[in-house]
Amino acid sequence: MINSTMTLGSSALRRGAFAVALVAGLAFSGSTFADDLSSMIKAGNSKWDAAFNSGDAAAVAKLYAEDAQVLPPGQSPVNGAEGIEKFFAGVIGGGYTDHKIETLKVTESGNLRVQTGRWQAMGPADEGGKRKAAEGSIVTVHEKQNDGTWKMQVHIFN
């Protein structure tokens, strides 16, 4: 026997069904949004890795805002796109290759996106000709530019 308060026409049931649908929709759209955000960051990482691995420090620098800052371990901050290009030209020229960024987490707030992750690369050959892997952690802050593109504003790694 069906209780009259539980029929499909019941306003309580309609409100409950709407609430369930709303929560399910928000959960699904949030997941999709997070997946899209992660995909965008990963695509940017692929561009960064491709530019670095092809030896193109100018292409690497174009992924940063004009007033961006790179904070390498144990060194002074590197400021601006020109300084960033020069810095990565030195890293590439120093024999580092096969760079890869792995995203661990991405968050967004307004016009900022923050990525945490891991990086790895092959270091220069030692005196015996053997290359050693280098790796560490990375944090990047991406800022939406006036033209709608996203560029790195801060990049710190160890």
Q: Would you write out the chain's pLDDT as a tens digit for each of its 158 residues? A: 333 333 334 333 333 333 333 333 333 334 455 567 778 888 999 999 999 999 999 999 999 999 999 999 999 999 999 999 999 999 999 999 999 999 999 999 999 999 999 999 999 999 999 999 999 999 999 999 999 989 999 999 99
CA nearest 90: which of 69, 60, 117, 62? Answer: 60
Strands (E), the chain: 64-71, 78-79, 97-109, 112-125, 131-144, 150-157
CATH for the 9-157 domain, from 3.40.710.10, 3.40.50.12170, 3.10.450.50, 3.40.1160.10: 3.10.450.50
Instruction: Compute CA distances 101 → 10, 14, 18, 47, 80, whole Å.
Output: 54, 48, 42, 10, 22
- The model's pTM is 0.76
**Residue 146, token pair as written in the block:** 């006036």
